[in-house]
Chain A
């Protein structure tokens, strides 16, 4: 009896233990097999931290390697609303010194993280330090520093998250930013900073710098000259471009007024425009060069052919009134003189001989087509198609109306003339891989180009662009003064002044375009406003490039 009871007890204990063991096993199966992924994830959360390390943004440099955009750290102030130690003092401080942040934080008081302000100024940082509030924490954030204000609309800026916002910064954002590195850190669950092991899951790609064809020093010199001209004539805005016609490299692209890229707290969007590419204008008489080129190429005029300019400021051609300025009035003069004095009546007569083909020549010169340089917001311009022409159109087109062009398109057209009638695509970024090696396509005959160059040289020696001439250099230039179209009417008091030309000595050639919009003084002409600017810019360029 006793033995039976004893065996029963042993069996019971045995079964209990077996039962416990089975429960443990079942639990283990549950934890390790059925809920395997859940617990694995839980452990990972405690011991492994996923880390994304952004690559430092690559530099933007000029053709000599001088930086145009650098990295710098900016400081951001933030709070963790759930972990505040001195909420009253903090609220008072924010209300007094950062009222916007105070309002925002009041509205989002249940959030875990709140910025007070990003990109703090040195005064803000000093103020926060002096307050001694432990609840305000500081964070280093990457941002950009731009050493050359003159290049601001071209280089662009980054936004608060250091992502490209304008210009080259925007266009090449992906290349400059690279790809962030991703890694897993194995950490002690209680440790804040220390890790045992780091496993890189994605190596990331370092940002690749962008080298511009721009010469930073030349950009600065040209900008200074442009500012002084704008100030002298109290003009609204202006621009200058310098292009090497042999390579297509844009050496300088300046617009003014512009913005301070290192202080974008109060940014005037209008000043961020790169007017060289974003605005298309009816440029006026500077287009006579292209009408002359078309006529010479078509063979409907010779350089020394006598043209009747009707010796008057006003004439009627096909019943359409054509005006020309007093200083350009001539009788019967050689075609070369028609262009050099900028007579509208003479060029209109010649353009009529060319007819609708003028459209083809203008488009062959690149007008109405984007240059394709890597900048956002480029305007294609406009050339009136013959199907939409009125009787006035051929007359207007001959002296630069009914055709709108960007200043860069104008520089490209002059580069074609400078490059002996051959086309070279303009280049803003030096990147050998992206540029197909191609021979320059001939667009105009050598004879026509030489004739146009002689006309331009004569214009710079004796004509409307004589203030652009530089002793010892072959300067070929043409000016243009155009009325601006305001509410559908050409306003004679609001003008655009353009001077475009070529500076040459031996194998050295540069195309320069100078432009000023809306000088405050009345009765001004391009020969007074932008031709001297052309000369000063050319001088600076020649000294800078040691072409003495």
Chain B
């Protein structure tokens, strides 16, 4: 191989490696950026979930349920004497 051909091949190889390296770096930056966007979206979703959970616990608070039961549904607290255990007789049912 002539000296000049070797030099051209060497330089071309180096340029190709450089381009590949740049491409790799750009790709990595792009993926890191995409990952960060996903992380940010995840953080937002977690935050929304926390808000929803908190809202749910506020709405399902025992005081709220009691108020709703007594005011809206006109329910009254049950007394022990009002409850009777019914013993299920499977033989008779069969």
A residues engaging B (CB < 8 A)?
67, 70-73, 140, 145, 147-149, 193-197, 216-217, 220, 224, 470-471, 539, 542-543, 548
Within 8 Å CB of A67, what residues of B? 57
CA distance A70 to B53 in the complex (A): 9
Q: In the bound complex, do residue B32 and residue A197 qualify as a contact, i.e. CB atoms below 8 Å apart?
A: yes
CA distance A116 to B94 in the complex (A): 74
Which B12-49 residues have C-beta < 8 A from chain A? 28-29, 32-33, 36, 47
Known: A72-B51, A470-B80, A548-B85. A217 touches B62 (CB 8 A): yes
> Can you give 12 A-B contacts (C-beta < 8 A)?
A70-B50, A70-B54, A72-B50, A72-B51, A145-B54, A195-B32, A196-B32, A216-B62, A217-B62, A220-B63, A543-B80, A548-B83
| B47: nearest chain-A partner, CB-CB | A73
CA distance A149 to B62 in the complex (A): 10
Q: In the bound complex, do residue A220 and residue B62 qualify as a contact, i.e. CB atoms below 8 Å apart?
A: yes
B57 partner, pick from A145, A149, A543, beta carbons under 8 A = A145
Answer whether residue B79 sits at the interface, using C-beta atoms and an 8 A cutoff.
yes
Within 8 Å CB of A470, what residues of B? 80
Closest CB-CB distance, A371 to chain B, in whole Å?
A: 27
CA distance A243 to B63 in the complex (A): 24
CA distance A67 to B50 in the complex (A): 13
Which B41-76 residues have C-beta < 8 A from chain A? 47, 50-51, 53-54, 57-58, 61-63, 66
Within 8 Å CB of B53, what residues of A? 70
CA distance A196 to B26 in the complex (A): 10
Known: A195-B32, A195-B36. A147 touches B57 (CB 8 A): yes
Answer whether residue B1 sits at the interface, using C-beta atoms and an 8 A cutoff.
no
Within 8 Å CB of B47, what residues of A? 73, 140
CA distance A133 to B51 in the complex (A): 26
Within 8 Å CB of A148, what residues of B? 61-62
A-B pairs with lowest CB-CB distance, top 7? A220-B62, A539-B80, A147-B57, A72-B54, A548-B83, A548-B85, A145-B54
Answer whether residue B78 sits at the interface, using C-beta atoms and an 8 A cutoff.
yes
B residues engaging A (CB < 8 A)?
28-29, 32-33, 36, 47, 50-51, 53-54, 57-58, 61-63, 66, 78-81, 83-85
Closest CB-CB distance, A370 to chain B, in whole Å?
A: 31
Closest CB-CB distance, B45 to chain A, in whole Å?
A: 14
Closest CB-CB distance, B87 to chain A, in whole Å?
A: 12
B83 partner, pick from A145, A147, A216, A543, beta carbons under 8 A = A543
CA distance A195 to B33 in the complex (A): 8
Q: In the bound complex, do residue B29 and residue A196 qualify as a contact, i.e. CB atoms below 8 Å apart?
A: yes
| A542: nearest chain-B partner, CB-CB | B80
CA distance A400 to B65 in the complex (A): 42
Closest CB-CB distance, A156 to chain B, in whole Å?
A: 18
Within 8 Å CB of B83, what residues of A? 543, 548
CA distance A194 to B50 in the complex (A): 26
Closest CB-CB distance, B88 to chain A, in whole Å?
A: 14
| A198: nearest chain-B partner, CB-CB | B32
Within 8 Å CB of A543, what residues of B? 78, 80, 83
Task: With A72-B51, A194-B36 given, name 16 new contacts (CB 8 A).
Answer: A70-B54, A72-B50, A72-B54, A145-B54, A145-B58, A147-B61, A149-B63, A195-B36, A196-B29, A197-B32, A220-B63, A471-B81, A543-B80, A543-B83, A548-B83, A548-B85
Within 8 Å CB of B66, what residues of A? 224
Q: In the bound complex, do residue B33 and residue A71 qualify as a contact, i.e. CB atoms below 8 Å apart?
A: no
Within 8 Å CB of A548, what residues of B? 80, 83-85
Within 8 Å CB of A70, what residues of B? 50, 53-54, 57
Q: In the bound complex, do residue A194 and residue B57 qualify as a contact, i.e. CB atoms below 8 Å apart?
A: no
Closest CB-CB distance, A535 to chain B, in whole Å?
A: 9
Within 8 Å CB of A195, what residues of B? 32, 36
| A142: nearest chain-B partner, CB-CB | B50
CA distance A145 to B57 in the complex (A): 9
Within 8 Å CB of A539, what residues of B? 79-80
| A145: nearest chain-B partner, CB-CB | B54
| A225: nearest chain-B partner, CB-CB | B77
Closest CB-CB distance, B61 to chain A, in whole Å?
A: 6
B50 partner, pick from A73, A197, A216, A224, beta carbons under 8 A = A73
CA distance A217 to B61 in the complex (A): 10
Closest CB-CB distance, B93 to chain A, in whole Å?
A: 21
CA distance A195 to B35 in the complex (A): 11
CA distance A149 to B33 in the complex (A): 44
Most buried by B among A72, A217, A470: A72
Q: In the bound complex, do residue B33 and residue A194 qualify as a contact, i.e. CB atoms below 8 Å apart?
A: yes
CA distance A476 to B43 in the complex (A): 55
Most buried by B among A71, A193, A543: A543
CA distance A72 to B50 in the complex (A): 6
Within 8 Å CB of B79, what residues of A? 539
